[in-house]
Structure 1
């Protein structure tokens, strides 16, 4: 595979809610800080990658499943939003060659892998990418989580995918550092801060095996099950950390009052 002179970092991003980039009129400035942080990613990278591998919280499958569609359609996997948001388009090309490479790396690590030639982009992918690469001119492949959401398995997945960083592929885990739809707003201020503070210590304050061990035991963190009653929005972080190996982490986005009271963050590893 083609290598580059510098290894790309990996990211775990908080991707926001639903089709927010197309709701500026309805949302006002609520997403300005998140949008700015995502839009800054190309500057941080210093070059345009040949493709993005996106691991979204919104796709789970029995085996790790990679999108092989050369022209991915849209998956409007949300409800209750304005009618126009069910017509939005993010027409980035797929990358079947990358899909094959991803599948082979996963299989070589002894993990179950499938491909899906029909799958399209869900909002965990197309919403943040509309801010990162608004021209939709960077090929993107999505990779599912595996049902069961085993942290160790997803760390192992990240380790299997690490060679892609030297092949000019940007690995992004897309979720939310706090995701409890029944506890948003001011009531979530304290638990979201407690968990976010722990998360920053776990992934920025440590590296390597110490960091992995903290993430494996994430459910013991302060307010963990308030922040994540179900952990699908946290598990993409495990993939980003696994692919990061011993590279240090940095918090590249943070706010304490997102959506009326949430502490939320995004992280970069390496680079």
Structure 2
């Protein structure tokens, strides 16, 4: 029998606001296009992954830290939402085996790494995963960002984890391409459009060292600090780029009038199913 090798792709996705998948008025209106894109994600890969490694904007630690619990609890890291959204569950298991592999790969790359057996799933994980895989039958492990939010360190971390893709692990980086909560309306139309265009030119039209360098200097992009007053929601993209360093990216989700006027995008790296 001939074995066909397949390297899992890498995704950078928007996780949306709070627990939106459990709020039908949001799910079917303002989030309808994002939900369609996330719902198509697993259908776009050629081989169903055995596990998912999720890098969420909502977890920062002094060193890169991997979640090791077999059955992580839920962290309701949002406020002002309906009472029922503080009871939602995403019941996937964790994977101590994958956590151990992440530690080994980072240590081999001389990147300091810690483990956390108590850390639960935050909404940067469970909100998109509720739409990506509502059956929750694929183990998911979260990996933190590193405080300081240095782009090069996160690109290097992604690079060290790229081998997981050859081991049937899907890497999903969860953030937002625009994250200025004080300017989340039509007033942000032009700055978000300018930054989103720069992001497309950087991520899709470049690759390798040139893409890395542009992302390392992301603060020089048009409207950069309007789009990201603090960059924790952009940094998961750096991990995705590091894990797919020499590969072409595609923009697999884009809206120009999200939330009344925002330009936002998601990206995929690597081989996907051909679409008709």
TM-score (norm 2): 0.96
What corresponds to 1:155 in structure 2? Answer: 155
Shift of 1:47: 2.5
Shift of 1:25: 2.9
The answer (yes or no) to whether the contact 1:4–1:167 under 8 Å persists in 2 is no
Shift of 1:14: 1.2
Q: Using a 3 Å threshold, how does the CA distance of structure 1 residues 270 and 85 change in structure 2: closer, same or farther?
A: same
The answer (yes or no) to whether the contact 1:54–1:142 under 8 Å persists in 2 is yes
Shift of 1:217: 0.5
Shift of 1:4: 6.8
Alignment partners' CA distance in 2, 1:114 and 1:38: 30
What corresponds to 2:93 in structure 1? Answer: 93
Aligned ranges for residues 41-80 of structure 1 at < 5 Å?
A: 41-80=41-80
Aligned ranges for residues 160-179 of structure 1 at < 5 Å?
A: 160-179=160-179
Shift of 1:28: 4.4
Q: Aligned residue pairs: how many?
A: 269
Shift of 1:100: 0.4
Alignment partners' CA distance in 2, 1:242 and 1:137: 27
What corresponds to 2:204 in structure 1? Answer: 204
Deviations 1:65-100 (A, max 9, x none): 000000011000001111000000001000000000
What corresponds to 2:274 in structure 1? Answer: none
What corresponds to 1:236 in structure 2? Answer: 236
Shift of 1:27: 5.7
The answer (yes or no) to whether the contact 2:27–2:35 under 8 Å persists in 1 is no
Corresponding residue SS for 2:256 = strand
Which ranges in structure 2 are unaligned for 5 or more consecutive residues?
A: 272-276
Deviations 1:159-217 (A, max 9, x none): 00000000000001100000000001100100000000000000000010110011000
Corresponding residue SS for 1:206 = coil
Which ranges in structure 1 are unaligned for 5 or more consecutive residues?
A: none
What corresponds to 1:105 in structure 2? Answer: 105
Shift of 1:56: 0.1
Aligned ranges for residues 248-263 of structure 1 at < 5 Å?
A: 248-263=248-263
Alignment partners' CA distance in 1, 2:74 and 2:190: 36
What corresponds to 1:142 in structure 2? Answer: 142
Q: Using a 3 Å threshold, how does the CA distance of structure 1 residues 26 and 167 change in structure 2: closer, same or farther?
A: closer
Aligned ranges for residues 186-225 of structure 1 at < 5 Å?
A: 186-225=186-225
Shift of 1:259: 1.0
Alignment partners' CA distance in 1, 2:27 and 2:10: 29
Corresponding residue SS for 2:181 = coil
Aligned ranges for residues 11-50 of structure 1 at < 5 Å?
A: 11-25=11-25, 28-50=28-50
What corresponds to 1:124 in structure 2? Answer: 124
The answer (yes or no) to whether the contact 1:53–1:142 under 8 Å persists in 2 is yes
